[in-house]
Amino acid sequence: MLELKGIKKDYLAGENTVHALKGIDLRFRRNEFVSILGPSGCGKTTMLNIIGGLDQYTEGDLVINGRSTKDFKDRDWDTYRNHSIGFVFQSYNLIPHQTVLQNVELALTLSGVSKSERKQRAKKALEDVGLGSQLSKKPSEMSGGQMQRVAIARALVNNPDIILADEPTGALDTETSIQVMEILKEISKDRLIVMVTHNPELAEQYSSRIIRILDGKLTDDSKPLTEAEYQKELAADKAEITAGKKLKKPSMSFGTSFSLSLKNLFTKKGRTMLTSFAGSIGIIGIALVLSISQGFNTYINTIQEETLSSYPLTIQKTNTDFSALMETFMGSATSDSEHDNNAVYKKSAIYDMMDALNNMETSENDLKSFKSYIETQRKDSESDLHKAVNGVQYSYDLDLLVYTKNVDNTIIYSDTEELMQEMVMEHMGVDMQAMTNASNSVFGENATSMMSSMGMGGSSMNLWQELLPGDNGKPINDLLKKQYDVVYGSWPNSYDEIVLVLDENNELDDMTLYALGLEPKEDVDNIMEAAVNGKELKNDNKSWSYEDICNMDFRTVLNSDCYRYDESTGLYTDLRDTDAGLQYLYDNGLKLKVTGIIRPNEDTSAPMLSGSIAYTSDLTKYVIEHSKESDAITAQKDSPNTDIFTGLPFKDSS
């Protein structure tokens, strides 16, 4: 029997204390269907949560089968929640991308039942709620009433003594509400059901007992236990205890740390931590852990979506297998001779390591076929890919050349990495490009691509980034719009429109400001100087108005346009090599207009963009299309064996 003795619950809300429950005395029969009625805010959910062990009472006692819970440990509560209680909520909390059967099976993962038994029991529970024929459907393919029945099956599958339902029909129409009530009534024959509802008619018609609460106190109970019934329940408790049917232990313990981490989930810091954690261990594990504790469903979806948006699945042209390399680095080099263990012997590492580096298996992916596969799948609204994917982005091996005029009126190549390299060269005399080349010649060409594929390249210094396009040719993906607020202007809408991306504090770093032409070179020189010589640096607290930002002038130059035919030599030259040439390119470049300024909104824990200026995929298309038409490319294609810049034949590439 379940008994509440003088249960009080206080919530501290800032300075004030809310007395949510003000002393509740209640006894429940083993098998009955109890409805709880009362106005919003009177303490119904609080009471249900305390009964279910989701929340702790402040005063009084909750007596479970003759046992006081006053000195229950976390482990006891875990056992109670996992084995004695099933929860049903107004929002069904199903995992959308899993089938109905998987959703129900999941509730059994913690109870230490074998996989085959899990499946069998989940099937049985679904049959009990009349869904035996819908096992492989996804929640999205079901009506609200059906989803609530799945939730009931999930609550039932552990065969709990008590089912707690908080407004289970709150989101359903009358007809489907009735179906759900019929099921609850049926299952109340051999267990206790406590249901909070706003619908007195349903309560009247289906439940066996109605309890009314007002302002944290019990005001009415249609069928309290008689003294004789109470004695009978007590006797049954005793019999159970002597029969040794004690509380079962959960096979897996959720310690305090886990409940703490759940509490942290709803703080921003907790979410960010979780997101990066999810990124590192793979999101699936997280989803599983969270889905077991009910009520986190929407949360899981957002986390998955956000994690995938900042760590998207990428498929690259070449794919390198690092496993051999990893193995040697992990020191699992195998013994290469047989000997007794009576002295110290040598095993090889140097050779293995170098050999692994030399022989890394690289395979080429057929991206062309893959792309056409993706395109057809995405057009088919029934396909799994269509349903699972938020957006697809194709990256091409293309250098977007963007120039801008700096505040001191010089034309600069708007690229942080390039400018940073120049700075380092100038101030420290270190040539970063030469270092990269050197490391490539030591470790082979693979080193750089390996670094970048492992996310260690200069990607954090990327200034220009393509926006994830939406479906059906829309320039901006909905997920982006969800993650970012437009603080000024509007999203770009055409190939020659771009948007500035701020961080959550409306800031851009100084290197970026320099690359955008907003910070004079002199200032950056001073910063470099101070840093190199260990001097202090004052923050000059500069700021720019949104209007100024949107008036910035960027020109993109097609890579192919940089090369000009020189009549006198009959060769092509690079216009960027001379100031006049650069000026010519700038004047004739495609003007890019900043249409707006965006900033990740507060609800986004893992924003998608890492760059500071973002352009639409239409610009990429434009550059690709127009590069095809260039003179230099045509000329080079026409004379495939001669380098059009030097007039010399190409080195034999073999």
The strand order across the sheet containing 16-28 reads 16-28, 2-13, 59-64, 67-68
Query: Least distance to Mg ion from the beta carbon of 166, Å?
Result: 6
Binding positions for ligand ADP, rule: CB under 6 A: 11, 13, 18, 20, 38, 40-46
Cβ proximity to ligand ADP: between 29 and 44 the closer is 44
Task: Scan for tokens 């709620």, then name that residue.
Answer: 129
| C-alpha–C-alpha distance, residues 469 and 65, integer Å | 59
> Which of ligand ADP, Mg ion, none has residue 46 at its interface (CB below 5 to 8 Å by kind)?
ligand ADP
Q: Does 45 bind Mg ion (CB under 5 A)?
A: yes
> Which of ligand ADP, Mg ion, none has residue 492 at its interface (CB below 5 to 8 Å by kind)?
none
Cβ proximity to Mg ion: between 199 and 630 the closer is 199
Cβ proximity to Mg ion: between 194 and 411 the closer is 194
Degrees (nearest 5) of the Cα angle 18, 24, 25? 170
DSSP 535-577: -----------HHHHHT--EEEE-GGGGEEEETTTTEEEEGGG
Query: Least distance to ligand ADP from the beta carbon of 235, Å?
Result: 33
Token output for 82 = 């996992």
* Parallel/antiparallel/unpaired status of strands 590-600 and 497-501: parallel
> Which of Mg ion, ligand ADP, none has residue 133 at its interface (CB below 5 to 8 Å by kind)?
none
Cβ proximity to ligand ADP: between 37 and 480 the closer is 37
Decide: helix, strand or coil at residue 636: helix
- Eight-state DSSP code of residue 112: T
> Which of ligand ADP, Mg ion, none has residue 121 at its interface (CB below 5 to 8 Å by kind)?
none
The length of the chain is: 654
Residues 423-452 that bind Mg ion (CB under 5 A): none
Query: Least distance to ligand ADP from the beta carbon of 216, Å?
Result: 7
Cβ proximity to Mg ion: between 47 and 411 the closer is 47
Query: Per residue, what are the HEC states of 205-274?
Result: HHCCEEEEEECCEEEEECCCCCHHHHHHHHHHHHHHHHCCCCCCCCCCCCCHHHHHHHHHCCCHHHHHHH
Cβ proximity to ligand ADP: between 13 and 281 the closer is 13
Strands (E) in 370-491, as ranges, are 401-405, 411-413, 464-466, 484-489
Q: Which stretch binds Mg ion (CB under 5 A): 38-46, 405-413, 487-495, 633-641?
A: 38-46
Q: Which stretch binds Mg ion (CB under 5 A): 39-47, 76-84, 147-155, 366-374?
A: 39-47
Query: Least distance to Mg ion from the beta carbon of 260, Å?
Result: 25
Q: Does 84 bind Mg ion (CB under 5 A)?
A: no
At 331, the amino acid letter reads: G
Is residue 64 within 8 A of residue 4, CB to CB? The reply is no
Cβ proximity to ligand ADP: between 11 and 373 the closer is 11
Q: Which stretch binds Mg ion (CB under 5 A): 44-52, 272-280, 379-387, 640-648?
A: 44-52
Cβ proximity to ligand ADP: between 41 and 132 the closer is 41
Cβ proximity to Mg ion: between 42 and 303 the closer is 42
> Which of ligand ADP, Mg ion, none has residue 43 at its interface (CB below 5 to 8 Å by kind)?
ligand ADP
> Which of ligand ADP, Mg ion, none has residue 265 at its interface (CB below 5 to 8 Å by kind)?
none
Degrees (nearest 5) of the Cα angle 117, 121, 126? 150
> Which of Mg ion, ligand ADP, none has residue 328 at its interface (CB below 5 to 8 Å by kind)?
none
Query: Least distance to ligand ADP from the beta carbon of 14, Å?
Result: 9
Q: Name the CA dihedral angle for 44, 45, 46, 50, rounded to a multiple of 10 degrees.
A: 110
Residues near Mg ion, by CB under 5 A: 45
